[in-house]
Amino acid sequence: MFRKTWLVARAVGSIGSFIGHLVSRSAWLRIRRIRYRLYPPAFPKHAENEQRNIVVVGASMAGYHAAKSIAESILPDSSYRVIVIEAHDHFHFTWVLPRFCVVGGHEQKAFIPYGPYLRHIPESALRWVRGRAVSITRDSVHLSSGEEIPYEYLVVATGAGATDTLPSRVDSDDKPEGITKLKDIQAKIKEAKNLVVVGGGAAGVELATDAKSQYPEKSVVLVHSRDSVMHRFGPELQRAATAGLKDLGVEVITGERLIGEDKERGVVTLKSGKEVECDYLVNCAGQRPNSALIAELSPGSIMATGHIRAKPTMQIDDDSLHNVYICGDVAETSTPNPNSRSAMAQAAVAADNVILAIDGLNPTNKYKPKWLEALIKLTLGLDRSVTHIGDFSGTEMLFPAKEKDLALMAGGAWKHMGAIPFQDDSETLEKFLTKV
């Protein structure tokens, strides 16, 4: 009991520290603008009309936040501007995807319009390129269109994907096609009599429990290669997730790998030789960082996992590329359970260090994983969830709850991104947008 009380006290202290950091950062940026107005020569000047690019590749949680933070900090009449390279036409709110693969009528809520988050940024400070980066050199980013964009500073936030398809990622750049793909998997799950879900992480557990909750008559089997589902977290959450699955009637098979699927016979085969009836298979396994762009530029920075080694300053761990920053799921930062909170924290460090660099100063901000960032809310069916908090010493707390919102707080995510739920405002981005 004492350890859990201490955990709550530390959580309150961490929240207070975070608020203090936000106040301090706001003061720093305000003073920076005042100094610029009073003493313009104190900041580096470049040749007239010489444009200096800060390129951000990827606009998921980390890249989007980094781009906004840097762009809103660019001083008036500066020769710097942010250029965002992103292939998607909308921000993909991935947390709701497992739910929307089962429950219909909410698909559009997973696609938040880009633009409202950038509403107060001057047009001169940012350019948005809807395109795909195919290679990076030491001084430029090359797009699939053939365009070459030079950079003085580069932020790589290309993320990671679990097989890069639903239910963990939408493998489409266009919202209408993404909605179609969600509806397609909804229909297949509805039609299936024997559903097999592979992968016992959050996406697999949530999809399996949602499917069984929505269609109690179905056979739903969850196959996981580890000894327990949610194995990256503590034993209390593992037990709660297992109990939630079994209470709904989901069959859980752990310590097994799927090695084959015979669609004609309607079975999948596990490594042990066991066959499981299956007329629809959903794969939720296989998280892999999207690091190919950096693998070509700095192969020594790529780990065996595919992650890019990052310094605490969020610079790439390659001293010859001091102007290249990494953040989000593609970066290796020793974060135990990376998520949107850790991605945004890394993005903030990268952004502030880029701001220091363009002011002619050394990057001094450092990212250190914080245990409170790993907080997770795990749904266990359509009307139940459990929120888990755990520190790095093994102390855990669980908060079970009843759920009433089938859209899983998607409206809150829209508001966080500056958008009105669920109004698809694409006009705000137009002033920044360049199509290639």
CA 67 to chain centre: 15
Look at domain 187-285 and name its CATH class: alpha beta
Rounded to whole angstroms, the Cα distance separating 199 from 224 reads: 5
Handedness of CA 92, 153, 126, 44 (dihedral sign): positive
Dihedral over Cα of 199, 202, 207, 210: its sign = positive
| Mean of pLDDT over the chain | 93
d(C-alpha 436, C-alpha 433), whole Å: 10
Q: For the residues of 90-104, what is the DSSP string, one character each?
A: EEE-GGGHHHHTTS-
Query: Between β-strands 287-289 and 160-162, what pairing exists: parallel, antiparallel or unpaired?
Result: antiparallel
Q: Report the pLDDT value the prediction gives residue 265, as an integer from 0 to 100.
A: 96
pLDDT category at 49 given cuts 50, 70, 90 is low
Tally of CB atoms within 10 A around 304? 5
**C-alpha closest to that of 165 among 281, 283, 263, 258:** 283
Give phi and psi for 325, each to the nearest 5. -115, 150
- Superfamily of segment(s) 48-165+287-373+410-430: FAD/NAD(P)-binding domain (3.50.50.60)
- Report the predicted TM-score, pTM, of the whole model to 2 decimal places: 0.94
Tell me the average pLDDT across 67-91. Answer: 96
The yes-or-no verdict on residue 44 having pLDDT over 60 is: no
For 147-205, the pLDDT digits (tens) are 999 999 999 999 987 557 899 999 999 999 999 999 999 999 999 999 999 999 999 99
**pLDDT tier at 436 (50, 70, 90 boundaries)?**
low
User: Crossing angle, helix 235-248 and helix 202-214, to 10 degrees?
Assistant: 20
Please give the average per-residue pLDDT across 357-363, as a whole number: 95
Report H helices in 39-82: 61-71
225-237 mean pLDDT: 96
Query: Under the phi-then-psi rule, with left for phi > 0, alpha for psi from -120 to 50, and beta for the rest, what region is 13?
Result: alpha
pLDDT at 2: 64
Outline which parts of the chain fall under CATH 3.50.50.60: 48-165+287-373+410-430, 187-285
C-beta of residue 312 within 8 angstroms of C-beta of residue 345: no
Q: Which of 90, 61, 101, 60 is nearest to 174 (CA)?
A: 90
What is the distance between the alpha carbons of residues 120 and 226, in angstroms, rounded to a whole number? 47
